[in-house]
Amino acid sequence: MAITAQMVKELREKTGAGMMDCKKALQETDGDMEKAIDFLREKGIAKAAKKADRIAAEGTTFLLTEGNDAVILEINSETDFVAKNEGFQTLVKEVAEFLLKSKPASVEEALTQTMDNGATVDTHINSAIAKIGEKITLRRFEIKTKTDNDAFGAYLHMGGRIGVLTVLEGTTDEDAAKDVAMHIAALNPKYVSRDEVSADEVEREREVLTQQALNEGKPENIVAKMVEGRLSKYFEDVCVLDQSFVKNPDQKVRQFVESKGGTVREFVRYEVGEGLEKREDNFAEEVMSQVKK
């Protein structure tokens, strides 16, 4: 059948694919709109597979809270430019909404589950790859729950470069929970309290501090006392409750939270790309590599 410009326009709006790709898809499927969408999806997955070996260490973190449930996630792209793309931002929100609704136990499980549009999460992401042109990956997520007597603190720093989700028990003060999340974004603690630090980690730190003191020539009879003092400073570095509150350095985070009638139950802090290999090629090389294809 004859493929009209209106049909191409409609398919392009539905899929975000290029005009020539849409025209070819309609020609291949005799003008059947649904089959043409499937054709482009399949083609998109093929394109996505070619990008599988690319490094995706940029992207964004995102937070979504709904009643007593909340999700924090990180979705990666290859460039910071794409992370600001409207299509990418829409994808992140759609995946967050799905995760909060379905509550999968892992990324692997999430990717195989079917969204409301009939596609699996993996296929939906691959379709976005075909439109946007970069490797995109759902790297990690955590889902948290609370009671009506607790508060979530959700904070995104620098447009999503850092995302923090806190759970405060015993208070419904969301502003206080967000203040704690902002503090965690800034100081990057590893634990809530000293109780969470393993005995092995404490002992390893004690051994290092002891050797440091001995190397400084300190008398052995005062080394043990010095080490305990320095160990206390170590806890201040890694435990949020022992840290001086960024909005009031005269007050510990523990004191701030207690003044609101609550306690910090847990927190999750994601920073985009932490622990991932970064792209080393520069922009000029990237342009040339595209020209040569």
pLDDT confidence of residue 284: 53
Give me the residues of the chain with pLDDT under 70, please. Answer: 45-50, 278-293
Whether domain 5-46 has CATH 2.40.50.140: no
Tell me how far apart the alpha carbons of residues 160 and 156 are, in angstroms, rounded to a whole number: 5
pLDDT confidence of residue 130: 86
Strand partners, 221: none
pLDDT confidence of residue 289: 55
pLDDT confidence of residue 283: 47
CATH of domain 55-145: 3.30.479.20
Start-end of CATH 3.30.479.20 domains in the chain: 55-145
pLDDT confidence of residue 38: 84
Start-end of CATH 1.10.8.10 domains in the chain: 5-46
CB 192 within 8 A of CB 241: yes
